[in-house]
A and B are shown apart, each in its own frame.
Chain A
Amino acid sequence: MPPKNKSVTLVIGSGGIKCAAAIGLWKVLQENDIHVNSVVGCSGGSLYGALIANHADVKEMEERSYQLWTNDLMQGYITNLKASQDGSLKFNERSGLVDDSVLNKTLQGVFGDWTFDGLKTPLKIAATDMLTGDKVILSEGLVFDAVRASSAIPIIFPPWEVNGRLLIDGAASNPLPIDIAIQDGADIIIAMGFPLSYRSRFRSMTAVQEQLNNIYMNNILNATYAFYNLAHHAEIFTILPEFEGAISMFDVDKVPHVIERGEQATRELVPHIRRLLEQG
């Protein structure tokens, strides 16, 4: 068993259903007895971060994935998109194109009344202040509130109010929040990130908007990642799983593939992590 005097923080970035790769990561860390001292999650990564912080079983996490990523989440999207374009749907800072009742019910079903204090491993979740653009760190109260806020994809899902602040997707400011782990003094940071993929064909304005959004997001990811790497005093191990083909938000049939790729990418890093834990 490796010595546990170096603090290890696990960071799971935004990436929708691709964040299920964290299940494979968690499985490999457990198999190799790599102790995690704290967890940080963002957006889709906050879902899996919370499950890991509560020491969920990998099988349970996979089952939760099938419950989470269903088409029902997008309830009302098409109707509201059309209504927003013809002006019949009035939009403001609290609006979203999707009726979030399904999302809320689904997240409540998973996280119920879990609190940050009650988790087995400390957890922090990244969100973004809708009105100021500030990065926000959530680490107290109900886990549901934090995950809901961190997952509020702008325009799609309505923002979520926590402690008087209107919060949206953590990915809008910090898609791979390594800085939170640095701030807490982690020695070893294991960061799993998910750059967004690009499309080559565009058949609608929303497709173009999505492409632009992905370009912005990837550039935020790259810029923040570069800075965090240079700012950290010790070690960041980065895991960037690669998938076969595009994985869209509701490709639940691809969850096993996503998990397998997360597992595979982590296995490649384990010797390096262990070496540092044992010799560093």
Chain B
Amino acid sequence: MNIQDIQKNGVTVVQFSGSIDALTAPAITEHLGGLISSGQIRLVVDLGGVDFTSSAGLRLLLGAVKDARAGGGDLRLAAVQPDVMKVLKISGFTNILKLFENVDDAVASFG
């Protein structure tokens, strides 16, 4: 799992690649938690390079979204791949999270 941050128009874009599961989730959770606690609460998670997520991925995303929103910001998803989208849909996460086709649209949505 590679994690990379990019700043775009006051929004932090976090790029992951690989799989999100119980093995990789702790590092991602720590990374997102670090961003939020440092005040970077306008977040876009670019899932274009993520081909799989298990329940651990759902848990970490929900936790980070709650923390970002509690601080007045948001965490939005971009470029969700089909297999990950299936899991997000069946779990109802597509109703809770804001999803965008690409990173630029997600960044622009913050206004």
Contacts and interface: CB of A to CB of B under 8 A. Distances in A.
Interface of A: 193, 195, 221-223, 225-226, 229-230, 232, 234-238, 240, 268-269, 272, 275-276, 279-280
A87 B14 CA distance: 64
B86 interface: yes
Contacts of B54: 235-238, 272
A229 B55 contact: yes
Contacts of A225: 90-91
Contacts of A234: 22, 55-56
Contact of B91 (A229, A269, A272, A275): A229
B111 interface: no
Contact of B21 (A223, A229, A235): A235
A272 B21 contact: yes
B69 interface: no
B74 to A, nearest CB: 19
Interface in B25-46: none
B92 A238 contact: no
B56 A235 contact: yes
Contacts of A237: 54
B100 interface: no
B87 A272 contact: no
B57 to A, nearest CB: 9
Given A226-B92, A230-B62, 8 more contacts: A195-B90, A229-B55, A234-B56, A238-B55, A238-B87, A272-B21, A280-B22, A280-B23
A279 B52 CA distance: 17
A240 B62 CA distance: 22
B45 to A, nearest CB: 18
Interface string B81-111: 0010011011111000000000000000000
A236 B25 CA distance: 13
A280 B55 CA distance: 15
A223 B22 CA distance: 22
24 contacts: A221-B90, A222-B90, A222-B92, A223-B92, A225-B90, A226-B92, A229-B55, A229-B58, A229-B59, A229-B91, A230-B55, A230-B58, A230-B62, A235-B21, A235-B54, A235-B55, A238-B54, A238-B55, A240-B86, A240-B90, A272-B52, A275-B19, A279-B23, A280-B23
A238 B90 contact: yes
Contacts of B62: 230
A177 to B, nearest CB: 15
B91 A226 contact: yes
A176 to B, nearest CB: 9
A132 to B, nearest CB: 26
Contact of B22 (A195, A226, A268, A276): A276
Contacts of B22: 234-235, 276, 280
Contacts of B55: 229-230, 232, 234-236, 238
A225 B92 CA distance: 9
A223 B19 CA distance: 24
Contacts of B52: 269, 272
* Nearest 5 CB-CB pairings of A with B: A236-B55, A226-B91, A229-B55, A226-B92, A235-B22
